[in-house]
Every structure is written in C-alpha cells, then in structure tokens.
Amino acid sequence: MSFARCFKLSSYCLIASGYVAIVATGAIDFISLSAFGAAFVASWFIDTARLYARIPPWVLNVVAAAYIPFFVVDYRLISHSFVVSSVHLIFLMAAVKILTLTRDRDYAYLYLVSFAELLAASTLAIDFTFALSFFVFLISGVCTLTLFEIRKSHAAAQSQGSVRPPVVAGRLRGTGLELFERFPARTMLLMSLGMTLMILGVAVPIFLFLPRITLANYGRSGGHAQLLSGFSDTVELGTIGTIKESQAVVMRVRVSEPPEKLPPTLKWRGVALDRYDGRTWSRSNLFRVPVPVQGEYFKLERSVLTPNLLWQTFYVEALSTDVVFAGHKVVAVSRDLRVLQRDSFDNLYTAGRTFGRQRYSAASDTTPADPVVIASWPPHSYPEEATKCCLQVPPEDPRIGELAREVTLGASDPFGKARMLESYLRNHYEYSLDLKGPPAAKDPLAMFLFDVREGHCEYFATAMSIMLRELGIPSRLVNGFRTGEYNRLGDDWTVRQRDAHSWVEAYFAPYGWVEFDPTPPDPRHPRFALTAMLADLADAVDLWWWEDVINYDLWRQYQLVAAVSAAARGWQSSAAELLGRIASWRHGAAEALTSAVEWRWVALILAASAGALLLLQRTGIWRHLRRLARSKAYRRDRTIEVREFYLEALRLLAARGYRRGRDQTPLEFAMILQEHPAGPPFTALTQLYNQTRFSRAADPAFPLKAGPLLKSLRAALR
C-alpha cells in the first residue's frame, strides 16, 4: 500500500468514526445523515483535487455565502431548533469539504468535525456503538496524526530544497525517498494499535480509580423513547386487524436465581386495571402516594411470608411510561429511581416520564399460593377496597355469567373455581394475533367467547376477570411483560416489545392478590443457532457497557479498591512465605556445602574462570567468537556484518583519539588519516562500507574482505 493510500484510508476511518457515533444516537434526521453519507462515499472514488480544480471559484463562494441564509431558514421554518440547525450547517459544510479535499487544512477541518460529532454523541447516547466508535477514533487518530505530520514535513522539505521525486522502477536505499515507494501500512497500523493500547492502559486505571461524579447524561437514552404498542395504561377490546410484533428491546433483567429455579409463572408486572366498561379497561383511582424510605431502599411491605426473596436488577430502555416494572408482590425497590410512588392497586411509578434509561433493583416475594392454606380461611373474606372496585360488572351478554357457573360446577371453593376457569380458557380457546369479528361489535368479550373463540392475551385476561367477578371473586386485569428470553452469555433476561402481556390477579386470603394466566402458550418461531448467538453476544456486550462502564459508581470503586487491597495482601503473604522458604533452603544448602566441600576449591574454580575470560579477551578470541555469532545471526543479510566491522574500526580509532565529526562523511574522515599508517586499511574498509550501505546489489564477498582490513588496522594502531 502506498503512503497516499494509507493516509487516505486512515483519515476516512477517523472521519467515519464520528459519523457512525452520531448516526447511532438517532437524534439527527435521516436526510442530513444520508446526504453526508453519500458525499462521504462518493469522495472516496472520485478525484477530489480534480473536482475542486474544475469548479469555478464563484460557485464555492456562493455556497459559502448561502450558509448563513440557509441556517436562518432552517432555524425559523424547518427544524425550529438552534442545535439541530447548527448540526445541519456543520454537515453541509463538511459535505462540501469532503468533496473538494485538496489541502491539509481541509483534512484538519474534517478531523475537528469528527471530534465534535463524537462529543455530541457522548451526550446523546452511551452504548456499545459509541464505545466501538471511540476505539476506532483513537486508533485512526493516532495513525492519522502521525501520517499527517510525515506528510507535512516531507512537503516542507520538498518546497525548501526543490526536491522532485524521480520515477524509479525499483526500491532505492538510503536516498530518503522511500516515502514514494511501498509504504509499510501494516507496521504503521500495528504501531498505532500499540500506542492506543498504551494510552488506554494509562487511561483505564485512571477511569477506574478517579473519583466519580454523577453523569449528566445518566438518564438519557440512545435515541427517541419507544412508544410501546403492547404495553399501555389502558386496554381496549374490539379493534380489528393484526398486531405486529416488535423485536425492540424494552429491558434486560438479572435475577438472583438460575433459570431452572425461577417460578414458572414469573412475569414483570406493570400496571393493574380495575374498571371495565364493556370495551376498555382503566384505573378508577389515579391518586398516588410516595413510598417511604428505609436505608437504601423504598420499603413497600412491613413483613414478608418467606425470607427467600427474588432479587431483580432492571436495565430499562427509554420508554414512554413512568410505570416501574418488577416481579409480583414487590417488597422493596432500590433508591436508584430517586422517587417512587404507588397507588391503591399496588402499581409503582417513578418521577415523571423522563424518556431516559433507568437502572434499579427490586425484591419480590414469590411464595406460591397454597390451596390448603387458602381453604382454611373463611370463603369470601375479602377486604372492602377489593370488593368496592374489583367486583363491578358492566351490562353484558348474560351467557358470560352462565358459562362461568357452568365451567366451575365441580369446584367447591373460590380458589378451585379460579383454577378451573384458567384451565378452561387455556384449553378451549386459541391464541392469535389476528383480531377477527365485526368492526363495531357491541360486546367484544361475548364475540370472543361465543363466536370467534380466538384472540390475544387481552381477551383471555378480560374473559377470566369478568367471569371471576360473575362468581363474586374480586379480580383485575394486569398489563406487563413475560419473562423474555434468557441470554446465557450475559446471564440476563432480554425482554422485547413482543413480550408485552396481560393476565389476571384475583384476591385470596392470606396471600392477597394471586396471579392467574389464562392465555395459552404463545407459539414462537425458533431462532437459528448462529442468529441467537450473535444476538445474545450483542445484548451481553451492551449490558456490560451499561453496567460496568456507564454505571460505574463510587460503590464499585470501593469494591475494586478492596479487591486490589486483598489481592495485594495475598501476594505479600505469598512472597513472604516464598522468601522464608528460600532463606531456609539457602541456610541448609550452605551448611551442606560447608560440610561437604572446602571453600578453597570454590575460590580456585572462580579464579580459573576469571583467568580464562581475561585470556579470551586479551588474545582476541572473544572478538572472533562475537563476530562469528553475529555472522550467524545476520546470515540472511551479510551486509550488516560489514557495518559491524566499520563500527568496530571507529571504536579503535576513537580509543587512539581520532573521532569522526558529525559533519563529516565516512570518506572525508578517512581522507584525514591518509598520512597515518592506519589510513590505507581504514580507507579501504570505508569504501567497502559505502558500497555495502548504498549499493543496489551488495557483493556477498564484502564481509570476507572486511575481516583482513580490520586486522591490518588493528596492527597499524599498535
């Protein structure tokens, strides 16, 4: 790869990193991103310098003059936002620059634009895409700035010395013009990667140990808030059509138990609805009260039935709701939410619709309801607040009540009747996302039960809830999400919009509100193994970035410091133990050596070894051995050996007071010694060195000639 190609590729990677980061935020309109993207791709294939030369100067002046009017029109009539208008202006200027790349300052301007895009993206989105873009920006930035300096320095040297690179067929050596030959792009990339890793090696520890302050964009999303089609604060029946499933991620949940130990009925509860008017479910009471705080948690229950609570950590994407999701019967929620409110239906809410990502923990009492315990309580022992709001039945088809009584004839207690209704709906009706029937049915529930006999979860939950009320059992409909898909790589549950679900809660003492799910299992299409693995990997990486980088707080710093301190103490203890063993072994070895060997023999061996080394050094055998080792090491390039001979000759002359000046060439220095006895052999050796250093094809016999010349030089200096 040539230098020009490598420089262009590195520069484009640097520019693209900022562009990709700003695209991933979803905050910039599609037209602006597409226009700059098209200009970016086109500039790679066209000759931008030739295009700039062909465009009349007045055209670029008109475009530059139109910047300000365009900005005003955009701000007043199109975007109505100063920030968005400024971004449009920057993209327009950058598109013109990248299509007319000619001078170094054009590249510098685009580098600054990319850096500004990366800064803007850091305030709009904090996800794995931003981290990847930032890493590419670092590598390409180091490489580009290095190549940019080489390019500028070489251009300055050409202009000062009026150097014109010749057209050569082969590689030149020692001319300084290698810049115009094959460029070592791979070496440059590895150097840039190494320098980037060194930078990160210094920056990451600083990031880990530097005191953290609250992130200003902690609650900001990776784009626009998701408008959930499956989850809502209200449920309306009677709509005709087909529900489209969305793969968009709503939340990720980590739980304290492995998948095989979780309750099979576990779901993420959202909001309970009590009032049904024959078509729509809603809440009859919208009053909320703040949840009291105890330590680091919001406390919702005074006592629990079991000490084995299920702990959940939620990583919720930006949603268009203020509902707080958690497992059934929440007893505590962490104060990460800062504000927590509840209503009379046990629904939880945070402070307003922040349209931002949220992270919080919750503990739920997942003790299953025991029919024997429920049967021991008096039947129909319901609290007043449950009977007041959750037994209301709208004017409806009388066949619904008759069907409820007919299905539950064999049950002797209310809980048994609820189980029979749940089983009947699951086994005699079919799940479907295609909503059929007359568009304006008077009673959509009766149409579902007696005519269509298939529907989605809202119909099943409505049917069971109303039939329970017909039997005098308080019930309500609940909206939330199924558990989702388990990601083994990230050890979390990925919940998507398609997992939105509705089920039923009925009141049974002493457990309170008990969950029932009359909807048949949802037939999901199996995913391909490779697709599932890649999706799980992407979700796991994104969750890691969110949890271990973005939410890296003071408590995590304390845990890290404690772990490092414990490891250091362990290493110190292990080192002390090892040193103690070495000292004990050394003491034992010394005693054994003293008793077995006389020290005079040890001193005699050491003296003989020192004498042998001195003899090798004085007789020159050591130099011959070293030269032989070098010739073996450099057998692929024998010219290196000649350079070693020349450097040794310079050392011999320096020892006699003859030193080569920095402003002297090798031949100039050799001419000074012409009158000296060592002059002829040194001059001949210098000529061999020059031929080896600067010749296109070095003679392999040169090293054989250099050895005798060096020997003659050494003899002349004596």
Tokens of 599: 């020290």
pLDDT tens across 567-603, in order? 677 777 878 888 888 877 767 666 655 555 455 555 6
Query: Over 60: is that where the pLDDT of 164 sits?
Result: no
pTM: 0.52
Q: How far apart are CA 712 and CA 710, in angstroms?
A: 5
Residues pairing with 252 in the sheet: 315, 494
What is the rounded (10 degree) CA torsion for 10, 12, 15, 20?
-110
Query: Over 50: is that where the pLDDT of 217 sits?
Result: no
Q: What is the pLDDT of residue 243?
A: 55
Higher model confidence: residue 460 or residue 139?
A: 460
Count the helix, strand and coil residues of the chain and give each as a percent rounded to the nearest 5: 55, 15, 35
pLDDT tens across 3-49, in order? 778 888 888 888 888 888 888 777 677 788 888 888 888 888 888 88
Helix (H) or strand (E) run with residue 694 in it? helix 679-694
Whether the CB-CB separation of 692 and 643 falls below 8 Å is answered with yes
Q: What is the pLDDT of residue 100?
A: 85
Query: Measuring CA to CA, which residue among 6, 333, 295 is closest to residue 146?
Result: 6
Q: What is the pLDDT of residue 174?
A: 40
* 48-62, 171-185, 419-433, 498-512, range with the lowest pLDDT: 171-185
Q: What is the pLDDT of residue 658?
A: 85
Helix (H) or strand (E) run with residue 573 in it? helix 554-596
CA angle 513, 518, 521 (to 5 degrees): 125
Higher model confidence: residue 52 or residue 438?
A: 52
pLDDT tens across 332-384, in order? 999 888 889 999 888 999 875 555 678 899 999 888 888 989 888 887 778 88
CB-based burial label for 623 (10 Å; 0-12, 13-18, 19+): middle
Tokens of 303: 């006592």
Provide mean pLDDT across the span 630-640.
54
DSSP secondary structure letter of residue 177: -
Q: What is the pLDDT of residue 394?
A: 86
116: left (phi over 0), alpha (psi -120 to 50) or beta: alpha
Higher model confidence: residue 649 or residue 603?
A: 649
Provide mean pLDDT across the span 154-162.
62
Q: How far apart are CA 37 and CA 661, in angstroms?
A: 57
